[in-house]
Amino acid sequence: MNADGTLWDKKMLFNDMPSAGQHPNRTMDFGPDGKLYISIGTLCNDCKESDREAASLVQVDPVTWKRTIFASGLRNMIGFDWHPQTKDLWGIDNGGDAKGDDWPPEELNLIKEGKNYGYPFAYGKREVDRTREDPAGDSKEKLVENTEPSTMEFQAHMAPIGYQFFPAGSTFSGDALINWHGSWNRSRPVGFKVQRIKYSNGKPIGAEDFLTGFLKGKTRFGRPAGIAIAPNGTVYISDDANGVLYSIKQNK
């Protein structure tokens, strides 16, 4: 991008990512290490993937544009961000559908390089999915023993999308916001709100409502999607049901 906002000619960096399938979202962001990170969702609701990059977070070297799998077993981690103080990477993963109103949970994970987070054989804190067949040459229970448990779990089907930390120097620095896009697959709707995830010493300790009013009974008025937080703490929330952008500012 030029200084005046105009763009140079675009250039193809790579075009061999997994098929979009059921989850075509490709969230990407540059980490504190300067590498590019791209989240790739599972290709269907409950797949045992043949493409190793599906249901993963990949790391891209911006010099060579070579991709490597950073973490796997992540069903559809649309929202992820780095804690402003610890620089740890945290991501919010969507659980599967058609397994009941209250399972599997949505989960918040501390994302570590080389780790597997259980999908499609487990959710949450190594909760084995009994509907799955065993992997070749092993049992689900044995395989799950070597996966990473979630740090925090939430009500199933709330559909997390945006996840963003308040920047250093802002009022809530070190806490995060999460956008619950809302359920389409539950007998009683849940989600449709924004919550603040409180952190202490770099670890999540609880959640509280930050922006509500999108759901009254079974009537839905909007669906929070993306989050951006300005250096001064102003929060921007997109609503992809109404095509609007909300600005939330702290009273002085």
Q: Are 156 and 106 in contact (CB under 8 A)?
A: yes
28-248 — its CATH code? 2.120.10.30
Q: How far apart are CA 238 and CA 245, in angstroms?
A: 4
Is residue 29 within 8 Å of residue 90, measured between CB atoms? no
SS3 122: strand
Within a 10 A sphere around the Cβ of 41, how many other Cβ atoms? 24
Cα of first residue to Cα of last residue in the chain, in angstroms, is 35
User: Sheet holding 67-72: strands in order across?
Assistant: 28-30, 36-40, 56-60, 67-72
pLDDT at 90: 98
- The proportion of the chain whose per-residue pLDDT surpasses 90, expressed as a percent, equals 85
pLDDT tens, residue by residue, 88-145: 999 999 999 999 999 999 999 999 999 999 999 999 999 999 999 998 889 999 999 9
DSSP state of 27: -
Q: What is the mean pLDDT of the chain?
A: 95
- From residue 252, give the alpha-carbon distance in Å to each of 111, 144, 156, 173, 249: 36, 49, 37, 17, 9
Cβ atoms of residues 80 and 52 within 8 Å: no
Task: State the pLDDT at residue 137.
Answer: 87
pLDDT band of 48, cuts 50, 70, 90: confident
pLDDT tens-digit series, residues 131-157: 999 988 899 999 999 999 999 999 999
According to DSSP, residue 243 is labeled T
Domain boundaries, the chain: 28-248
Contact 224, 194 (CB under 8 A): yes
User: Rounded to the nearest 5 degrees, what angle is found at the Cα of 61, between the Cα atoms of 56 and 65?
Assistant: 95
Task: Say if residue 252's pLDDT is above 70.
Answer: no
Helix or strand or coil: residue 213?
coil
Peptide bond into 231 cis (omega under 30): no
Other C-beta atoms closer than 10 Å to the C-beta of 99 total 18
- Coil/strand/helix, residue 141: helix
Query: Closest by alpha carbon to 147, among 102, 93, 197?
Result: 93
